[in-house]
Every structure is written in structure tokens, then in C-alpha cells.
């Protein structure tokens, strides 16, 4: 099977055009003799129209394949090096592999250059095992996905790049080098085992879970704070073997997930009616590194969306078909299972909305449904009465240092109940700093405790590189422990605000950890355009879990900065779901 590649990018070897735009933009693409990785590279300038978008397609001359003559394509591997030279007011450029078939253009999964102010840095992105369903139609009259089978017409390969802006006109400059695409032979179809919806093909594990890399970036409002550096589910988690008409085929509402992992899959109903402890377990069941999203990781997605002027729309109108209350022409597929439960509920299926429902906006290929559908559980709490916040005890989100994961409890109920994370078996491996989490300000929430409903254990006795010693007499039960170490900040994060009002400002004081978590500072009945008129709910009657994004009926109040502390630890609702993140 053929491999197409280019490291020099002679202008005569490439053709290009605008394949999608909102407004009237323009572009320039040309070979550069220096500055590549190394040597030659292809430089691209996008002139983005005000409140508009532009996606340019670039096709390699001669990079064609005829499945009808040469046989069907099983999947595609690829690699590109990309860099940001000037992000303009878009701050980044979105790239992907591209296919042209007949008169339609199809984009593969989108990746980003670095984000302003990080410029002139080459970053490699590889793509493995991309099947037809991984490519979506950007423009043209053809079907939603290309035809890789022997009945398909001629395919030409290349790449695409895109930008969009929610403000005035702007210009971005970026570069691509070491473009490579390999078409792999079609093999007889193999059934997907029901246990995990995965299979092995050509020595590679093929998983239907979809995740997106969030690169590291900074924002001018919070100098010195580095966000990003993790993989996050592209779609809100669903159950294995779920379908639009059957949302809970594996685990009944409110039941323990056991060893079942949440999956990130296009068009599968949200795994709802799940409490915090169960979402932590289902996320961690994906494998080492995978965990329920933290408040800091969510804040990174919110800030990235704001930085790129691509504040995502979403299914928040509770309409049939599901739509965005401010953009009623934007619609999505309906969750038939939930709708059958209550005909007045109209929730979208994850990922079925338009590209504007992703965090990259009209460039597409990003993280879908960060607002609307369901409030998304995070590993954070609002404490009873005083409005203090409990949040993960470190902003180091790496696998070895992160204050969350899975370990083993021994000595439960004794003088030194110990949580061990030594990398053995299902235990994560940790390399914490000694004494880092000691004292009354720190606590551990263990999901398996209290018969699987989860329990908070305050006042950590001791921290070593691989162990946490709980307070004398703490009794979470010996065995597997999916956990998060929390820090309590003695500041009332509801002071001066009314539950249900809309955000008018965030805490931006760098001396406070709250600045890293996108926590509201002020609110009003009308809110602010800058913060999307996003709502802030809280209830201090008991310990409350942290959720963000808004649900299918929250209307204008839903958004990436929307925040809720309304539900207790054991709440099981149709309006709550979750997504997983992988620490590296």
C-alpha cells in the first residue's frame, strides 16, 4: 500500500483552495527555503474575516489512490510537523489530514499548533489507524464520510488548516513540514468483542474511545500559569454497547460501574444517573492515567475557548430537535432513550451537533458538548455552610505527581490506615513530595468507601513518595481505592452572590488558587457578555459536588464558565454526566 510524503513542499507539487468559509477570507500558501524542521517547509497565511471562519485545503499532486482498481483501504496512518508563527487574535491554527473524493473534502481529527505566546516551535502530531468514520465532510455534495471500500472512487490526500474568530478580522501565520500519509490494506472485518468494544488489527489495538490532546498554553490575564498538557475525551462518556434507544444497557441507573469503563463515542447517549464516586471509578477503569476531570483541567478548556474566540455553542434549548437557544438553526440528534422516559426532555446525543458545538468552533475536530446536554461532574466540592472550596491539592497534573488516581488501602480502621500507589498491579505509580499533603487542610475522597457512595477522610497524617497515611481510625475499607487528595481553601466562594444569578467576573488574583479554577467573583441577574451570561448555582445546606457546563434545559445560562454546586454527593440525575482525562 502506498506512502505519500513531502519534506520540501515545492509549490508545483501542491494545489490549494478554500473549502469552507464564513464571510470572505483569503490565504497565501508557499514554500519557504529556511526555517523548516529542518530546511524547507510550507508557510500558510490565513486572513480571517470578522466574525468568520476559513478552512483551506491542500492536496499533494499525484497523491491519489483508486480503491476500485487497487483494493479497499483498511485505515490510514499519518504524521505532520506544524508550528505557529503568528496567532493573531485566533492564537493558534487547527490542522488535520484531508481526503478529497469526487467533489467532497473530508477532514481527519484536528490538532493544534502551539498557542500564543509560544511561537516558532515545531510540534509533531501522528495519526494511527484512522478509519473512514474518523473523517468528516467539510464541504461538497458527498456522504458524511469517505468510502474506503473497493466500490469507492479515487481518493486524493493532503491536509487542511482552519481558523475562526468571534471578533474583528485577523491574520494567522503557520507552517507545516514532514507531511506523511500511509494507506493500509483493507482486511476482513472482525467483530468487536462486547466486553470492551476494542479489537486488534495489524498488531495495533483499535479503540473506539476518542480523545483530544490539549496543548500547554498561557493567557495574558494570568501570567505564569500554564494550562493544558493532557488528553481529554472528545465526547461526554457513555456506556459500552449503548445506542440512541438504549442509554443504559450495561449498568442500571445509579448502580456501581464495577469494572466497566466509560467510553467517549460519537452519537452514544450520555451515561447519566451516576454519582460522583461512580464517575470516578468508571473514568479510572479506562486504565492507568485516566481519571475524572478536575476543576483545573476544565478551566483550561474554558480559557482556551475564550482565548481562541471560539466559545462553544451547545444543546441547551430543550427543543425538538435539540438546539442552542441563541442559534436555533444549529441542531443535533436526539437521545431517544431519555425522550421516551419523559417526552418533555430533549437532550442531544454527544457529538451530533455542528462544529460550532466544539471548543475549536468552526474549525471543527475539537472537544464537543462543553455546554448543554448535562452538567459535567468534576473532582471538587463546596463545603457545608461556610462556602469553602475543596479542590485537588496540587496543580501538577502529571501521572506521577497528580493528587488523584487508584491505589490500595491497608490497615483500615487502625492507627495508620495507608493508601499505597506503588505501580504494582492496578495501582498507579506516584512520586509525591514527602509531607506535601499533611495536615488539617488536606483530605482524601475515596470512591469505594461507604459501600461505593464515596467518603471524605480529613486530616492526613503523613505523605511519602508512594503513600498517604489517613487519620487514626479512618475506616474506608481495605482494598482498591480510587481517590482524589483535596485541599480546602478558607474563602467563601459564594460571598455577595445569589444562587441562579449569572457571572459578571472571575477571581483573577494570582495569589489565590481560585484564579486557576475559573471561579466566579461577582454575579448579577443579567450576567455579562464576556462570560457568556453563564449561570452560577450553589447550595450550602450540605457538602455539594462541583459540576460545570450546564444541561439541556439551562438555555443561555449554559456555557463553559457555568458552575453548579447544587447536588449532594449521592445525587443521581438525568442532568448530570462526566468525561475522563488522561494524565501523562
**CA-CA distance, 246 to 239, in Å (whole number)?**
10
CB contact at 8 A, 155 and 12:
no
Beta-ladder partners of 155: 65, 101
Helix/strand/coil percentages in the chain, nearest 5: 10, 40, 50
pLDDT along the chain (584 residues), means of 10: 91 96 95 96 96 95 90 91 95 95 94 91 91 90 90 95 90 97 68 33 48 87 90 93 88 94 92 97 94 97 90 96 96 95 96 91 79 97 88 94 97 98 94 96 96 96 97 97 96 96 95 94 96 96 95 97 95 96 91
**CA-CA distance, 348 to 354, in Å (whole number)?**
11
Q: Which residues does 444 contact at the CB level (< 8 Å), separation at least 6?
A: 419, 456, 457, 460, 468, 470, 483, 484, 485, 486
Helix (H) or strand (E) holding 297: helix 295-307
Per DSSP, 356 falls in state: G
Q: Which residues does 131 contact at the CB level (< 8 Å), separation at least 6?
A: 74, 75, 76, 148
The per-residue pLDDT for 149 is 87
Residues of the chain with CATH 2.60.120.260: 3-188
- Give burial (CB, 10 Å; 0-12/13-18/19+) of 537: buried
Q: Which residues does 530 contact at the CB level (< 8 Å), separation at least 6?
A: none
The per-residue pLDDT for 421 is 97
The per-residue pLDDT for 250 is 87
What CATH number should be reported for the domain whose range is 3-188?
2.60.120.260
**CA-CA distance, 344 to 320, in Å (whole number)?**
9
- Of 58, 68, 27, the C-alpha closest to 181 is 58
The per-residue pLDDT for 370 is 97
The per-residue pLDDT for 345 is 97
The per-residue pLDDT for 382 is 86
The per-residue pLDDT for 208 is 55
Q: Is 11 left (phi over 0), alpha (psi -120 to 50) or beta?
A: alpha
The per-residue pLDDT for 200 is 38
Residues of the chain with CATH 2.40.30: 389-489
Question: CB count, 10 Å around CB of 432?
Answer: 22
Largest CA distance in the chain: 75
The residue to which cell 503513600 is assigned: 467
The per-residue pLDDT for 362 is 62
SS3 144: coil
- Confidence (pTM): 0.73
Give the CA-trace dihedral at 554, 556, 561, 562, to 10 degrees: -30
- Of 66, 136, 67, 76, the C-alpha closest to 106 is 136
CB contact at 8 A, 562 and 324:
no
Q: How many CA atoms lie within 13 A of 102 on its CB side?
A: 14
Q: Which residues does 24 contact at the CB level (< 8 Å), separation at least 6?
A: 49, 52
End-to-end CA distance of the chain: 33
Residue 284 preceded by cis peptide, ω within 30? no
Task: Report residue 40 as a C-alpha cell.
Answer: 524547507
- Of 215, 242, 249, 218, the C-alpha closest to 229 is 215
The per-residue pLDDT for 241 is 85
The residue to which cell 458527498 is assigned: 142
Domain 389-489 has CATH 1.20.120: no
Radius of gyration of the chain (CA): 24
CB contact at 8 A, 223 and 515:
no
- Of 275, 279, 260, 302, the C-alpha closest to 579 is 279
Q: Which residues does 343 contact at the CB level (< 8 Å), separation at least 6?
A: none
Q: Is 68 left (phi over 0), alpha (psi -120 to 50) or beta?
A: alpha
Amino acid at each position: 500500500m502506498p506512502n505519500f510524503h513531502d519534506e520540501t513542499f515545492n509549490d508545483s507539487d501542491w494545489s490549494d483552495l478554500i473549502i469552507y468559509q464564513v464571510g470572505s477570507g483569503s490565504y497565501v500558501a508557499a514554500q519557504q527555503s529556511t526555517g523548516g524542521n529542518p530546511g524547507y517547509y510550507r508557510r500558510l497565511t490565513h486572513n480571517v474575516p470578522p466574525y468568520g471562519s476559513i478552512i483551506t485545503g491542500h492536496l499533494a499532486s499525484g497523491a491519489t489512490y483508486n480503491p476500485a482498481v487497487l483494493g479497499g483501504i483498511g485505515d490510514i496512518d499519518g504524521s505532520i510537523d506544524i508550528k505557529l508563527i503568528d496567532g493573531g487574535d485566533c492564537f493558534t491554527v487547527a490542522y488535520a489530514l484531508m481526503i478529497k473524493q469526487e467533489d467532497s473534502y473530508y477532514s481527519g481529527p484536528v490538532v493544534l499548533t502551539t498557542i500564543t505566546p509560544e511561537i516558532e516551535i515545531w510540534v509533531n502530531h501522528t495519526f494511527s489507524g484512522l478509519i473512514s468514520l474518523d473523517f468528516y465532510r467539510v464541504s461538497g455534495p458527498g456522504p458524511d464520510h469517505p468510502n474506503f471500500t473497493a466500490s469507492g472512487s479515487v481518493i486524493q490526500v493532503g491536509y487542511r488548516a482552519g481558523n475562526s474568530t468571534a471578533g474583528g478580522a485577523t491574520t494567522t501565520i503557520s507552517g507545516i513540514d514532514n507531511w506523511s500519509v500511509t494507506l493500509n490494506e483493507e482486511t476482513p472485518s472482525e467483530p468487536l468483542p462486547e466486553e470492551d468494544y476494542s479489537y486488534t488489527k495489524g498488531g495495533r489495538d483499535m479503540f473506539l474511545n476518542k480523545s483530544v490532546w490539549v496543548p500547554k498554553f498561557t493567557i495574558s490575564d494570568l501570567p505564569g500559569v500554564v494550562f493544558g498538557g493532557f488528553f481529554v475525551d472528545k465526547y461526554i462518556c457513555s456506556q459500552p454497547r449503548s445506542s440512541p434507544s438504549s442509554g443504559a444497557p450495561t449498568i442500571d441507573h445509579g448502580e456501581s460501574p464495577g469494572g466497566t469503563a466509560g467510553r467517549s463515542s460519537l452519537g452514544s447517549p450520555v451515561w447519566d444517573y451516576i454519582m460522583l464516586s461512580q464517575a470516578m471509578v468508571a473514568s479510572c477503569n479506562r486504565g492507568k492515567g485516566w481519571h475524572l476531570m478536575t476543576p483545573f483541567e476544565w478551566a483550561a478548556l474554558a480559557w482556551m475557548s475564550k482565548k481562541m474566540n471560539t466559545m462553544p455553542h451547545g444543546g441547551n434549548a430543550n427543543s425538538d430537535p435539540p438546539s442552542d437557544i441563541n442559534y436555533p438553526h444549529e441542531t443535533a440528534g436526539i437521545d431517544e432513550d431519555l425522550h421516551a422516559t419523559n417526552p418533555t426532555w430533549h437532550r442531544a446525543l454527544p457529538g451530533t451537533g455542528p462544529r460550532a458545538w466544539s471548543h475549536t468552533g468552526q474549525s471543527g475536530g475539537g472537544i464537543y458538548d462543553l455546554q448543554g446536554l448535562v452538567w459535567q461532574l468534576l473532582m471538587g466540592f463546596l463545603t457545608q455552610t461556610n462556602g469553602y472550596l475543596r479542590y485537588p491539592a496540587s496543580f501538577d497534573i502529571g501521572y506521577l505527581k497528580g493528587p488523584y488516581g487508584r491505589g490500595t488501602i491497608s490497615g483500615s480502621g487502625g492507627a495508620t490506615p495507608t493508601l499505597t500507589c506503588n505501580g504494582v498491579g492496578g495501582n498507579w505509580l506516584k512520586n509525591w513530595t514527602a509531607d506535601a499533603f499533611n495536615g488539617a487542610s488536606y483530605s482524601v475522597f475515596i470512591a469505594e468507601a461507604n459501600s461505593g457512595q464515596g467518603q471524605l477522610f480529613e486530616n492526613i497524617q503523613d505523605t511519602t513518595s508512594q503513600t498517604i497515611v489517613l487519620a487514626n481510625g479512618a475506616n474506608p475499607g481495605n482494598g482498591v481505592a480510587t481517590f482524589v487528595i483535596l485541599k480546602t481553601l478558607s474563602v467563601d466562594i459564594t460571598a455577595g452572590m445569589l444562587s441562579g444569578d449569572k457571572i459578571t467576573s472571575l477571581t483573577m488574583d494570582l495569589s489565590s488558587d481560585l484564579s486557576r479554577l475559573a471561579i466566579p467573583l461577582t454575579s448579577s441577574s443579567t450576567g455579562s457578555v464576556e462570560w457568556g451570561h453563564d449561570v452560577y448555582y450553589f447550595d450550602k445546606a450540605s457538602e455539594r459536588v462541583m459540576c460545570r457546563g450546564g444541561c439541556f434545559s439551562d438555555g443561555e445560562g449554559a456555557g463553559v464558565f457555568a458552575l453548579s454546586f447544587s447536588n449532594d454527593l449521592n445525587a443521581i440525575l438525568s442532568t448530570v454526566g462526566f468525561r475522563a482525562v488522561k494524565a501523562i
